[in-house]
C-alpha cells in the first residue's frame, strides 16, 4: 500500500443503514471482479446511499449511479458502470483470462424475467411470469449441463467475469424471489443448483454478498 492509501476506491450501493453493502448486482459484479484482480490493500470499498445521495457523490458523478471506481493514481479518474470497471481493471492489469470470450453464449435473460415478476401487480399475470422465469433458468441449467462436467464455474475452474455477472443476479432470485413471490429455483435444475452452491461458497462471493435483509429491503418498494 502506498503512503497515501489504496490506489482504488470503489463506490457501491449502501444498504438500509446507509453503511453496509446493499443489494445492487452491478455493484457486486464490480466488487467481485476487483477482488479477482487486486490485492485487498489496493482498494477501499465504500457503500453510498442511493436513497439519500450525498452531495460529494453527486459532485463526483452527477448521474448518481453505482458502482463507480476511482483511480487515485490517475488524478482520481472516475470509471462508472460495472462493464467499464471490468474493462478498465482487466486492461490495466492485463488479465484477459478473467474475461474469456463466449459470455454472449450464456443464457442470462432470467434476470429481466425475474424483475418483471417482482414488479408485476396483476395477480392474473403472475403465473405466466413465473413460467417464463423458470424457462429462462432452465436454459441456464441446460447450458451448465452441456459444459465439460469438471468445470466448477460458468466458463472454467476459476471464477471469471461471467460468474461476477451471473451469481449476484441468481442471489436476487433465491432471496427476494422466495421472500416476496414464494418462488424457488426448481430442484430438478441440478446443474444450476450445483453451480450456485459452488459459486456462493467461493470466498470472493461471500466477501461481497449483501445480507439477505438487504435484498428484501431493496425490493420492498415494489411491495408497498
Ligand X SMILES: N[C@@H](CCC(=O)N[C@@H](CS)C(=O)NCC(=O)O)C(=O)O
The binding site for ligand X (CB under 6 A) comprises: 13, 24, 26, 50, 64-67, 81-83
Q: How far is the CB of 161 from ligand X (least distance, A)?
A: 12
Pick 67 or 199: Cβ nearer ligand X: 67
Q: How far is the CB of 148 from ligand X (least distance, A)?
A: 29
Q: Residue 182 — left, alpha, or beta (φ > 0 → left; ψ -120 to 50 → alpha)?
A: left
Pick 59 or 123: Cβ nearer ligand X: 59
Q: How far is the CB of 82 from ligand X (least distance, A)?
A: 4
Pick 162 or 192: Cβ nearer ligand X: 162
Q: How far is the CB of 51 from ligand X (least distance, A)?
A: 9
Cβ neighbours of 127 (radius 10 Å): 9
Pick 24 or 155: Cβ nearer ligand X: 24
Pick 197 or 221: Cβ nearer ligand X: 221
Cα–Cα distance measured from residue 160 to residue 165, given in angstroms and rounded to the nearest whole number: 9
Q: Which residue lies nearest ligand X, judged by its C-beta? A: 24
Q: How far is the CB of 151 from ligand X (least distance, A)?
A: 26
Residues 6+ apart with CB under 8 A from 89: 33, 34, 37, 38, 69, 95
Amino acid at each position: 500500500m502506498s503512503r497515501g492509501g489504496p490506489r482504488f476506491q470503489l463506490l457501491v450501493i449502501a444498504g438500509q443503514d446507509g453503511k453496509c453493502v446493499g443489494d445492487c448486482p452491478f455493484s457486486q459484479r464490480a466488487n467481485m471482479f476487483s477482488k479477482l484482480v487486486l490485492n485487498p490493500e489496493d482498494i477501499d470499498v465504500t457503500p453510498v446511499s442511493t436513497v439519500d445521495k450525498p452531495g460529494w457523490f453527486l459532485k463526483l458523478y452527477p448521474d448518481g449511479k453505482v458502482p463507480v471506481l476511482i483511480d487515485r493514481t490517475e488524478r482520481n479518474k472516475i470509471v462508472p458502470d460495472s462493464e467499464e470497471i471490468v474493462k478498465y481493471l482487466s486492461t490495466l492489469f492485463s488479465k484477459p483470462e478473467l474475461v474469456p470470450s463466449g459470455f454472449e453464449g450464456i443464457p442470462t435473460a432470467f434476470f429481466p424475467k425475474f424483475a418483471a415478476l417482482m414488479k408485476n401487480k396483476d395477480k392474473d399475470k403472475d403465473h405466466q411470469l413465473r413460467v417464463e422465469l423458470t424457462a429462462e433458468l432452465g436454459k441456464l441449467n441446460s447450458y451448465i449441463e452441456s459444459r465439460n462436467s469438471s468445470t466448477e464455474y460458468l466458463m472454467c475452474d476459476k471464477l471469471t467475469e461471467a460468474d461476477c455477472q451471473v451469481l449476484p443476479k441468481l442471489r436476487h432470485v433465491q432471496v427476494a424471489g422466495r421472500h416476496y413471490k414464494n418462488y424457488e429455483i426448481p430442484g430438478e435444475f441440478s446443474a444450476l443448483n450445483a453451480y450456485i452452491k459452488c459459486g456462493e461458497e467461493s470466498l470472493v462471493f461471500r466477501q461481497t454478498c449483501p445480507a439477505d435483509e438487504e435484498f428484501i429491503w431493496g425490493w420492498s418498494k415494489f411491495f408497498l
